[in-house]
Structure 1
């Protein structure tokens, strides 16, 4: 009888969620906000893969690892904890996970801030990906698009082969992608053997590989040294490996998926769960106070203790400019 393959769920928890300010702050990024039926996105991510993986690995940083620990303790789930002393983007983060694993271990790498529904379809996609990963492929998950979304990157495919990765498009390009029928949303989820990923990283980004290995070899109980980490080039896994490797396959999935990266997607999610909107499509988030909207439609009012945000739903992508301006001023409102 063949040995059961070992599967590790790697959860990437970096990211601040600048487009969800003022809900999302440096001290409480969006993946830890209990907005989603009393749970956080990080909590939902952990629960979603409990039955699929033997081991859970959390890649965090010095600012958020205590928030992850609180969730993991509550779930009574042992986990491998890797703490980055400074963010070095996703290529290095995933390299640490691979170095921390046996070469033949299958890694399922997911962000910690996505909403996924239709679990049977999700599990089908994961099993399909694990089979391909067993055969030595690096698998990316593409979501069948439901609208010409400009907030996501796209994967152009032919069958399960990737033709190209595309950056976030403008509205006209997105509509063109949808009409062509062979484009998928790039979910930022991956599946591969640890050894296969490291071989490809070494081939295409030897410096990221070498410097990440040195940092990992000198970790102290999963905590990485700051000086050694700063040596690692900061580059995304998409640029480092996905867009260059010849071993990429895509699983086209049609589970319900959103990265909840903007108030528009949060609005759509909350509406689907019965959150109140008025007859003109206006919504208040973060307060139970009576809120009246006069002469506006599709407007979102976001209330927090020290900052409020009022935006048109269709301008959700522009919230990051407010965040960037506050960052320039080193405003305490980001903390």
Structure 2
């Protein structure tokens, strides 16, 4: 550990959280909602890594950078702010963070909207990842699955070697993965030396590398130019590097993890912290008004000032289609 110059926690805050509409809006995406024990997911993400990393970097966008700033100013934290003018997916976002670092710096990259419990296991996984990253590996974090979840991607592994990355499976494949026992949930968190990641990106996606470099070199105080950003191919880090590099290792961990990507996962989390449900499993989110459910079970009522949503828990993934429909109509309800 002595030879490590700097560990930077890179927080990616780009997502809108379309599956959590109407709670999550473009002006206040899910990672900034104070829904969870009075803190936002963004603040919790920052908190859990403050003892591990000695620098913080936030890669966000023009619409939400002020929300990140408010949280970090409240905690008196100095940080490096990288502001995207247009979303270009995770390969570009991570490339900017790497270009803003020294080659030997170790970056821990996490989304800003995940719930994690079990800090001892989490910190052990981080230390193992930092050790592997210092040897030149790109580390991905796999979570030991607790159920055949269809909302997550999976990592097939042999020891700490990755055999394959799998897209979100259907129910049959998910059960099959669990039965095989060597599949982990793909958490979307990574750890690597900045220079190693950039070398691999350059090898496998030279255009993303070159165009991101140009955009970064022409940025001013972390603000990226719109036209130069639009020239960068929009591709995820998984496709760009993870699924192709020979330097990937996986750290497997038992900490409790959820990406809170749907109302079903929010429902499960809220139940775990004592949020009330009625005897038929119906839940109210967003209002303290008396609400009665008659003839319904496992239904979630989501209340906001300008829009309400009523859904059966198992249809949680369908909220994204509703969001897309409102987007096509250019609805102000998304703002």
TM-score (norm: length of structure 2): 0.99
- Which runs of 4 or more aligned residues in structure 1 lie more than 2 Å from their structure 2 counterparts after TM superposition? 1-5
Between the aligned partners of 1:3 and 1:292, the Cα distance in structure 2 is 60
Between the aligned partners of 1:198 and 1:236, the Cα distance in structure 2 is 14
Alignment deviations for residues 142-178 of structure 1 (CA, whole Å, 9 cap, x no partner): 0000000000000000000000000000011100000
* Aligned equivalent of 2:230: 230
Between the aligned partners of 2:44 and 2:105, the Cα distance in structure 1 is 23
Between the aligned partners of 1:4 and 1:220, the Cα distance in structure 2 is 29
Between the aligned partners of 1:232 and 1:316, the Cα distance in structure 2 is 32
Between the aligned partners of 1:269 and 1:71, the Cα distance in structure 2 is 23
How many angstroms does 1:244 deviate by? 0.2
Alignment deviations for residues 193-235 of structure 1 (CA, whole Å, 9 cap, x no partner): 0000000000000000000000000110000000110110000
How many angstroms does 1:4 deviate by? 4.5
How many angstroms does 1:3 deviate by? 4.3
* Aligned equivalent of 2:149: 149
Alignment deviations for residues 297-328 of structure 1 (CA, whole Å, 9 cap, x no partner): 00000000110000011111111111011011
How many angstroms does 1:44 deviate by? 0.2
* Aligned equivalent of 1:268: 268
Query: Is 1:35 aligned to 2:35, yes or no?
Result: yes
* Aligned equivalent of 1:333: 333
The correspondence of residues 200-279 of structure 1 with structure 2, limited to 5 A, is 200-279=200-279
How many angstroms does 1:5 deviate by? 3.2
Between the aligned partners of 1:5 and 1:179, the Cα distance in structure 2 is 42
Are 2:4 and 2:134, in contact at CA under 8 Å, matched by a contact in 1? no
* Aligned equivalent of 1:323: 323
Between the aligned partners of 1:253 and 1:216, the Cα distance in structure 2 is 34
Query: Is 1:102 aligned to 2:97, yes or no?
Result: no
Between the aligned partners of 1:7 and 1:319, the Cα distance in structure 2 is 37
Structure 2: stretches of 5+ with no match in the other structure: none
* Aligned equivalent of 2:301: 301
Between the aligned partners of 1:171 and 1:294, the Cα distance in structure 2 is 30
Query: Is 1:25 aligned to 2:25, yes or no?
Result: yes
Structure 1 residue matching 2:69: 3-state secondary structure: helix
Query: Is 1:135 aligned to 2:135, yes or no?
Result: yes
Between the aligned partners of 1:5 and 1:301, the Cα distance in structure 2 is 49
Alignment deviations for residues 11-60 of structure 1 (CA, whole Å, 9 cap, x no partner): 00001000000000000000000000000000000001000001000001
Structure 2 residue matching 1:268: 3-state secondary structure: helix
Between the aligned partners of 2:257 and 2:26, the Cα distance in structure 1 is 25
Between the aligned partners of 1:21 and 1:4, the Cα distance in structure 2 is 42
Structure 1 residue matching 2:163: 3-state secondary structure: strand
Give RMSD over aligned pairs.
0.8
How many angstroms does 1:75 deviate by? 1.0
The correspondence of residues 16-165 of structure 1 with structure 2, limited to 5 A, is 16-165=16-165
Are 2:4 and 2:106, in contact at CA under 8 Å, matched by a contact in 1? no
Are 2:43 and 2:71, in contact at CA under 8 Å, matched by a contact in 1? yes
Alignment deviations for residues 50-107 of structure 1 (CA, whole Å, 9 cap, x no partner): 0000100000110000000000001111000000111110000000000000100000
Between the aligned partners of 1:210 and 1:127, the Cα distance in structure 2 is 32
The size of the alignment, in residue pairs, is: 335
Between the aligned partners of 1:2 and 1:183, the Cα distance in structure 2 is 33
